[in-house]
Structure 1
């Protein structure tokens, strides 16, 4: 039998990866053998009973039913749900103040809930002796509120071997006919208060899939999404919004969210709990507060009325209709007036001070300009900072600032916009997500984390990481992040395969982060200089390894493996084969070799056809056709930021009609890996080596990112020393390669200093002269490069030193080229 166990300590570390270690260490850990004081959770021939109070919250009862179904599947025996302990009890669960059984156990001193009362979504799991007459031992789960209880219940499902991705990625339940829970007590609660996803850019993928599977993007589809969120210990969603309104499309959807315990929000340009589609259907006059304020206030009031007594955070502020700027320039007075009026509506409808309703001001795109120019909202409002849509956080709150409403981050795994859409595949490397979100936590942005996940699939792996890290960002330290791929893969595929599959996911993330597939074409890499051959060789090697691993898996894992691992690898490998063949075709045509040009043209057409076959394999052949349309995003044939209407074969050349080849860009003579030097810590700052940060290797990251800026680097300030043996005297261009980050402190600077031998450090600004074009190049290439010319470097040995200036700069390497 495949063992899928980790320690209880790691259960707390990674919420979505929860099982016990083979040695059964830790409290309330799942184990296949009995240990002193352990609870018999599943035993062949014995009925397991899950008990919840009939008066508890509806979401608790629903989750208890899920646990019953999960345990039946895990053990294969009888498991039942009860509302009292008269027929026995294996698990007793309930919410403080809503469950008479839980309150009685607390009063009797049998259940330790110290520190639990008043917490947000906290829970305790404790194996209790003699919890009720006739019950020798039971697991007791107590939640501080309904979601605390829900998370505790789903935590047991995960420990038993049920992945949060069982339905969404067809991950089979791990079977354990006999299962014990070790003695002891575990308590946990989240750090980030609101944690969730934004389903967006969902046509034609998610939208067509939901219409095929459920008859629409309705409560049946959302029930599956809500269940995934809760199993992942998340609590928040911005629902699909391309021509959709969760509230109006299906009146059952919002009440279902309320029942299950999922909080509903609206995106950055949909204020006051009203979808953009609501305005398209009901609005009259312009979406312009200077011309149509009474109509807009009435429209917004209905959103707050529709919200009722829900806990849902309310988006405030205003952007232009259709996700555009509200005005040209920064109309601060107007936006401040809008916020005041919206808060008055909230107070009028709720009959309470506006500060008692959670509110979010999303500082997305041009809205951040208002903040940067001094606009402020009341202290109770959460400031939701955003990335640049490409995974680089633009701004964070001032260091040490503490607001009642706190701050958060809106992040992207998917995007529609310049320099080009990226919607097709997961291209989000875990180390980069970790570095950015760790920085967000360092700066205190821990009230709301939400990520744009596009169609949801195939973003399962980064979603899992993002939500697991959001539970407690500091637990996801460097060691935990680097162990995460193997642990996550073990949760889905078993300990026998977890390490090697985790390595595949890691390598895929490295290679995919080099450039989004929508940005790749025949000119992306040089053909004549062998760069295409090198890059394609890396993908071919990964593809071969992924297929070898897949061939060793049992049949019940094939669907999950294809969805979570193999599909993305073979799809990206095939895309690279396609464009490499196009590059070879064009080179042959330029050289006048008609036969070779035709051979590569035929190969390119074959790879284009294979792309469609890969989609069919995903949508038709996998999981009995469950994922129809989920891979429908176009991705071949982009000419601008917007996708083509359909995938198109790239232009192919003949000897008669050759196509121009791009000039070969000279490569640096020397490339130095970021971690090839001697890292020297100083002034309270230390360097961390983050393995696999890029396709080329590790990065060097400074911590803490909130450390003071070092305006005069040198001496004992943190630096990295690289030894170089230069072979030719003369002028040399020295380049520093960094991650494409931004200045989250708001000064427009992203700096590092360089020195050679004993010369004084020279500060380089990686964002110098930043324009839309330079920013676009940085995200396309997924790096920033700053250069300086050394006028006369002698041949021989030298020391190149990088000096930290702005702590958020991530070093990816150094280059040297003769001038």
Structure 2
């Protein structure tokens, strides 16, 4: 027998507790807690029973769904078609299990930016966003142990679109709220469909009508469990219409909140402290709080992120000590607005979510967490991760994220492929965060430097190949879920990357006069059509068309923050080719081509410490193949022919390697000549061949010995991963520690505990030390590549220190008075950094001597996340990621 009930509401459960048959002391009077216990002889005629008892309604529900999930029912069984595995028998271990209170009291999602996808899908499948639709949402939330919802609000009104919606939420136990700009349990559509009074959403000019609007919302929710949004913004999620000055604006908002609280008491008959309320400090609203706006202490203050997942502000110790209503966070996994929109696919890696929301926990913002999830699908993974962390942060510590993901994959798809699937979903989100799909452009990844574009294409192609192999190995009944959760985002994003890089090649090849320009134009068009086939499989083929319209979101061709009406093919060029066999040459490190450019070509210098290989490409400039030959001037220059990184079948790449054994130490110069035996014209001069300069710099045996194990070069730019330190020095329990799989690197470094006190003296603070070898002395720049985290503590400036050997430390403050406006939300630097998902913190250092040195990086403030260090003496070659890292002697 299975007995289920709530303490104080179920006579059976209360009798078992009174008789000592079940232990309920650990959950009594707790919020959303439950126990699952096996009981012998619970009542006459019953030998044993499984008892699920909750401290309250939701506690009982969570206990039921805990058992359901352990039996094998995924929370996503309906929402992602995860098969429910049938079992002949179920075994439960004897004993007692207790689940205490969640870490975050109110945990939920915000359905937003829901057109064109969710709106069209619900219209087709449910007839609108009605009770039939919301019943599915409510069940999912409860299975994910959430309890809070902001309903869809673009041309939707939860309480009026279907009068059953509100009562149904209360029956399910879902606490309803309204979005950051919809106060007093009213949807904005409810205002725009009426426009009472003079029609203006303005408390100065239309106060009686606005107050009555508030009153109706308060009255409607008096018998339901609500979390009431208070305050006021402008009409349609814009800034409030100001009064002419910040001080008078503050006074106006204080008046609005005072009036709203009075109305709530009058219409509900409750004490105001018995009505949970939240004021959301979104966008410009934060400035009113910073200007001294006072909100009663029982109201929860909800800080917001920057719309791309980085929290703008968290409470100080002084604030935490005075507010009984506590603090919360409004988070985004989807955005339609500034700094840019991203609505198509999941771009939210777990380590980033965990790092930011852990800050919220440790800084005391644990009353309410809500995240903007757009259409809900296809954000299944980050939604569950976010809510799991809100429920039990210990299950997703920074060192258990990979474990959590494997357990998720095992639950959804079985044990056979769980580890591989976990890596796939982690990797695709990580790659997408480097540059969100909507922000992809043909020129993002460099075609000339560090083989960046081709490395990115190869990363995605390997991911796609692994994902497709697993898809083919899965039983048929798992494939619909696998396509939604794993294969579709990987195929779609791989295709997008290939298309944008092909469009970049098309533009570059046109500039270089390559005949393969036309092949690249054809490839772009093919991949654009392929993008829509991938979309249509999701919309039309999965589960009999169950998800039609949920992939309608345009994502190709953004020209501003606002979504395009439909996907736009990247612009391409085509050449009118002559019927000749002329050749051209392009070399690594240059956008130019030869013949035709006035400066002679040269390859980037070869450095024996790195043992890099370089490339040049030879291609037709006419409709006929070229007969050009490629020859090296010296035996230490090794040429290997291969296919070019091109859609043109006639383009050839020649890898250039150096046989270092044939060279003494020092700098050497040679050449590679390309010729087809005819005279060509280059910058108005006749020449028989193109000569490409090759310079190789070989370290001495002493230099090689000194440099082994270091990061550095004989003079070229180099990169150091943050976790590539030789030594880490802690101060007490404050230390630099790794965050695995974070950002652009395998492991980033940050300060723990995350709420450590600032340390103004870098020589006495936690630091990282990196071994350097510098081949050329002089002025070097060290760019710290950090996450674009914001200044969560207004008492700090997010400062960090750097120095070489025993030189005086330099301190850089990201949010110094001079930089603050640019670095903060929607500032110029923030706009750039939010698109690249990184910030550059530059230091310029004079290194007086060549040889081995120690680079030191020290904490000043916590909450800075270091990903890598890029060092260079000469101007850094243009690229998105900079030079790949390689420790000397290990390449």
Distance 1:656 1:753 in 2: 56
- In the alignment, what sits opposite 1:315? 229
- Aligned residue for 1:198, secondary structure, equals strand
Q: Is the 8 A contact 2:26 2:98 kept in 1?
A: no
Distance 1:99 1:668 in 2: 74
> What do the CA deviations read for 1:322-377 (whole angstroms, capped 9, x no partner)?
11110345310000000000000001011122121000000111111111112121
Q: Is the 8 A contact 2:745 2:868 kept in 1?
A: no
Distance 1:406 1:578 in 2: 48
Q: Is the 8 A contact 2:180 2:280 kept in 1?
A: yes
736-745 vs 283-292, greater mean Cα deviation: 283-292
- Whether 2:44 is the aligned partner of 1:133: answer yes
- In the alignment, what sits opposite 1:738? 786
Q: Is the 8 A contact 1:315 1:362 kept in 2?
A: yes
Q: Is the 8 A contact 2:741 2:747 kept in 1?
A: yes
Distance 1:664 1:256 in 2: 62
- In the alignment, what sits opposite 1:698? 747
Deviation of 1:481 after TM superposition, in Å, equals 2.1
Choose the corresponding residue for 2:548, options 628, 635, 638.
Answer: 628
Mapping of 1:109-124 within 5 angstroms? 109-124=20-35
- Whether 2:295 is the aligned partner of 1:353: answer no
Q: Is the 8 A contact 2:103 2:393 kept in 1?
A: yes
> What do the CA deviations read for 1:490-515 (whole angstroms, capped 9, x no partner)?
11111122111101111112211111
- Aligned residue for 1:694, secondary structure, equals coil
> What do the CA deviations read for 1:764-800 (whole angstroms, capped 9, x no partner)?
1234524221101111110111112113442211111
Q: Is the 8 A contact 2:332 2:371 kept in 1?
A: yes
Deviation of 1:92 after TM superposition, in Å, equals 0.2
Q: Is the 8 A contact 1:105 1:111 kept in 2?
A: yes
- Aligned residue for 2:869, secondary structure, equals strand
Q: Is the 8 A contact 2:131 2:164 kept in 1?
A: yes
Distance 1:557 1:795 in 2: 60
- In the alignment, what sits opposite 2:512? 591
Distance 1:160 1:364 in 2: 41
Structure 1: gaps of 5 or more residues = 1-89
Distance 2:470 2:859 in 1: 42
Deviation of 1:472 after TM superposition, in Å, equals 2.2
Distance 2:848 2:132 in 1: 68
187-196 vs 478-487, greater mean Cα deviation: 478-487
- Whether 2:238 is the aligned partner of 1:324: answer yes
- In the alignment, what sits opposite 2:481? 560
Distance 2:317 2:179 in 1: 26
Q: Is the 8 A contact 1:127 1:185 kept in 2?
A: yes
Deviation of 1:679 after TM superposition, in Å, equals 2.4
Distance 1:794 1:519 in 2: 43
User: Kindly tell me: are residues 811 and 695 of structure 1, through their superposed partners in 2, closer, same or farther at Cα, counting changes over 3 Å?
Assistant: closer
Distance 1:767 1:561 in 2: 44
Deviation of 1:747 after TM superposition, in Å, equals 4.4
Q: Is the 8 A contact 2:53 2:60 kept in 1?
A: yes
- In the alignment, what sits opposite 2:168? 256
- In the alignment, what sits opposite 1:243? 155
Deviation of 1:458 after TM superposition, in Å, equals 0.6
Choose the corresponding residue for 2:362, options 442, 445, 457.
Answer: 442
Mapping of 1:21-36 within 5 angstroms? none
User: Kindly tell me: are residues 187 and 520 of structure 1, through their superposed partners in 2, closer, same or farther at Cα, counting changes over 3 Å?
Assistant: same
Q: Is the 8 A contact 1:399 1:706 kept in 2?
A: no
- In the alignment, what sits opposite 1:35? none
Structure 2: gaps of 5 or more residues = 578-588, 593-603, 605-714, 875-891
Distance 2:489 2:767 in 1: 38
Mapping of 1:203-242 within 5 angstroms? 203-242=115-154
- Whether 2:469 is the aligned partner of 1:548: answer yes
Choose the corresponding residue for 1:154, options 56, 59, 65.
Answer: 65
- Whether 2:202 is the aligned partner of 1:279: answer no
Distance 1:507 1:794 in 2: 41
- In the alignment, what sits opposite 1:482? 402
Deviation of 1:737 after TM superposition, in Å, equals 0.9
Choose the corresponding residue for 2:304, options 377, 380, 386.
Answer: 386
Larger radius of gyration: 2
- Aligned residue for 1:127, secondary structure, equals strand
Deviation of 1:399 after TM superposition, in Å, equals 2.5
Distance 1:664 1:199 in 2: 45
Deviation of 1:681 after TM superposition, in Å, equals 1.8
Distance 2:591 2:123 in 1: 48
Choose the corresponding residue for 2:93, options 182, 187, 198.
Answer: 182
Deviation of 1:725 after TM superposition, in Å, equals 1.1
Distance 2:5 2:508 in 1: 69
Deviation of 1:652 after TM superposition, in Å, equals 0.5
575-584 vs 503-512, greater mean Cα deviation: 503-512
Distance 1:305 1:286 in 2: 22
> What do the CA deviations read for 1:722-750 (whole angstroms, capped 9, x no partner)?
11111222211111111110010124722
Deviation of 1:378 after TM superposition, in Å, equals 0.8
- Whether 2:814 is the aligned partner of 1:766: answer yes
Deviation of 1:420 after TM superposition, in Å, equals 1.9
Q: Is the 8 A contact 2:399 2:739 kept in 1?
A: no
- Give the number of the structure with larger relative contact order, counting CA–CA contacts within 8 Å between residues 6 or more apart: 1
Choose the corresponding residue for 1:539, options 442, 448, 460.
Answer: 460
Deviation of 1:444 after TM superposition, in Å, equals 0.8
Q: Is the 8 A contact 2:744 2:867 kept in 1?
A: no
Deviation of 1:480 after TM superposition, in Å, equals 2.5
- In the alignment, what sits opposite 1:815? 870
Distance 1:309 1:718 in 2: 54
Cα RMSD (Å): 1.8
Mapping of 1:614-625 within 5 angstroms? 614-625=534-545
Choose the corresponding residue for 1:298, options 212, 225, 241.
Answer: 212
Mapping of 1:563-578 within 5 angstroms? 563-578=484-499
**TM-score in terms of structure 1 length:** 0.87
Q: Tell me which protein shows more helix as a share of its residues.
A: 1
**TM-score in terms of structure 2 length:** 0.80
- In the alignment, what sits opposite 1:803? 858
- Whether 2:378 is the aligned partner of 1:458: answer yes
